[in-house]
Amino acid sequence: MTLVRPFLHDRVDIIGDIHGEIEALERLLGRLHVDIARGRAERPLIFVGDLVDRGPDSVAVVELIQHLVNEKIAQVVLGNHEHNLLRGEEKEGNGWFVDHADGADCFPGPSGPQLFASRVATSDEKEKIRRFLLSLPVALESRELRVVHADWFPEDIEAAREVGDYSAFDALRRCAATEFDLRGAPDEVAIRNYAVPLPYHHGLACQHAADQNREPIRVLLSGREKPLRTAGDPSEIPVPFLSGKHRFAERARWWREDDDERAVVFGHYWRRLEGRNRGKMDVFEGIDPLAWFGKRRQAFCVDYSVGKRFEARAYGRDLREGALAALRWPERTLLFDTDTERFATRL
Ligand SMILES: [Mn+2]
């Protein structure tokens, strides 16, 4: 079996990034009339990945979804957060699964570094989660629809069709063609220190984007990147701090060049129903929060930022600034875990 697989059904509900928010998931599944205990659903579910990290109970989220997969009423693609767990990489918000050797797993809270309030997995739970994640595909497709966590890059989708497991896929790399001028670049410690702002460094930005773009697994799971800016005074280019690092490269809007005529649904990009993302380049700037977008209006991001709730809790903000969404296919209707029921624009 390859890492790109067919949908088992034509009519599906596609659910966005969950990030350990078990209550949101249970509420949304209730609205979709899923009978969790009996393993029955009116229609099958597709999960776009990022089931885990930062939220209260990633273990419960994975166990619930694995149950739905076993009952054959759900399919799941791997997200970058799941992939980090498989690689054992320490990332902000995954201390519930990966031991953080250099310090505790914290985020910038209202009064300094704050621990994530996440249920920690036992070693048995970890082993079960690991085996489940290794069984997941990286993308799903039919004649009308494509689903991937972040970026449907045709060259890397083709590569994923040729491999059957993540150890083979992880090993694929394009050659590093260029050497970048890294004189005066900040070191890794400075890049991870949110307390001290960093000036923009173009060589480092190019290096970061190139490192990202040469690995097929990273491209599909967290998207192609490009340097923040190619021209202008570096001191005037703000370098955002996101998910534990200063970011010199930004996400590319790949859907503008996507030439496939099929619809493509993905998560990952922190879409907002209202307002915009704090301190962050918004890849959806100028796009209606409920609209299809891209070269042929073929693209839809179903991640409505429920993963921001850990932060909203810490800062006492309204939890509804993020939501968990389901896109009903082929109707193209959106349903949320919150009280908003709104409809996506038709093509
Ligand atoms: Mn993601």
Rounded distance, CA 293 to CA 221, Å?
Answer: 20
Q: Is the pLDDT of residue 344 over 60?
A: no
**Where is 250: in which H helix or E strand?**
strand 249-251
For residue 92, how far is its CA from the centre of ligand 1 (angstroms)? 13
345 contact partners, CB below 8 Å, separation of at least 6: 288, 290, 291, 292
Question: Using an 8 Å Cβ cutoff, are 242 and 107 in contact?
Answer: no
Percentage of the chain beyond pLDDT 90 is: 73
Q: DSSP for 323-339?
A: B-EEEEETTTEEEESSS
Cα(14) to centroid of ligand 1, in Å?
15
- Could you tell me the two tokens for 192? 């991870």
Task: Quote the pLDDT of residue 101.
Answer: 85
Q: What is the pLDDT of residues 62-105, one digit of tens each?
A: 999 999 999 999 999 999 999 999 999 999 999 999 999 877 89
Whole-prediction pTM value?
Answer: 0.92
Spacing, Cα 221 to ligand 1 middle (Å): 7
The arithmetic mean of pLDDT across residues 2-9, rounded, is: 96
Please give the Cα distance from 142 to 270 (Å, whole number): 25
Where do the domains of the chain lie?
Answer: 4-159+253-336
Q: Kindly report, residue by residue over 265-321, the tens digit of the pLDDT.
A: 999 999 998 766 655 668 998 899 999 999 999 999 999 999 999 999 999 998 988
Could you give phi then psi for residue 245, rounded to 5 degrees?
-145, 150
Q: What pLDDT score was predicted for residue 279?
A: 54
CATH topology (fold) of 4-159+253-336:
Purple Acid Phosphatase; chain A, domain 2 (3.60.21)
Q: Tens digit of pLDDT for each residue in 179-201?
A: 888 898 899 899 988 888 898 98
Distance 113 CA to ligand 1 centre (A): 23
Residue 249 in this model has a pLDDT that exceeds 80: yes
Looking at every residue in the chain, the average pLDDT score rounds to: 92
- Residue in the block written with tokens 């697989």: 5
Q: What distance in angstroms lies between residue 147's CA and the mean position of ligand 1's atoms? A: 13
Query: What separation in Å is there between the alpha carbon of 12 and the centre of ligand 1?
Result: 21
Report the pLDDT value the prediction gives residue 347, as an integer from 0 to 100: 40
Q: What pLDDT does 229 receive? A: 77
Q: How many whole angstroms from 52 Cα to the centroid of ligand 1?
A: 10
Structural contact between residues 13 and 145, judged by C-beta atoms closer than 8 angstroms = no
Give the torsion through C-alpha atoms of 263, 268, 269, 275, to 10 deg: 110
For residue 301, report the distance from its CA to the centre of ligand 1, in Å: 11
Quote the ligand 1 centre to 138 CA distance (angstroms).
13
Q: What is the pLDDT of residue 226?
A: 92
Q: What pLDDT is attached to residue 341?
A: 54
Residue 14's H or E segment, with its range, is strand 12-15
Residue 238: per-residue pLDDT: 83
Highest-confidence segment of 103-107, 210-214, 246-250, 323-327: 323-327
pLDDT of residue 194: 85
CA of 49 to the centre of ligand 1 (A): 7
How many CB atoms are closer than 10 A to CB 244?
16
How far apart (Å, rounded) are the C-alpha atoms in residues 334 and 342? Answer: 6
Distance 32 CA to ligand 1 centre (A): 23
> Which tokens is 196 given?
């001290």
Question: From ligand 1's centre to the CA of 22, what distance in Å?
Answer: 17
Tens digits of residue pLDDT in 106-154: 998 999 999 999 999 999 999 999 999 999 999 999 999 999 999 999 9
Ligand 1: distance of its center to the CA of 184 in Å?
A: 31
Alpha carbon of 222 to ligand 1 centroid (Å): 6
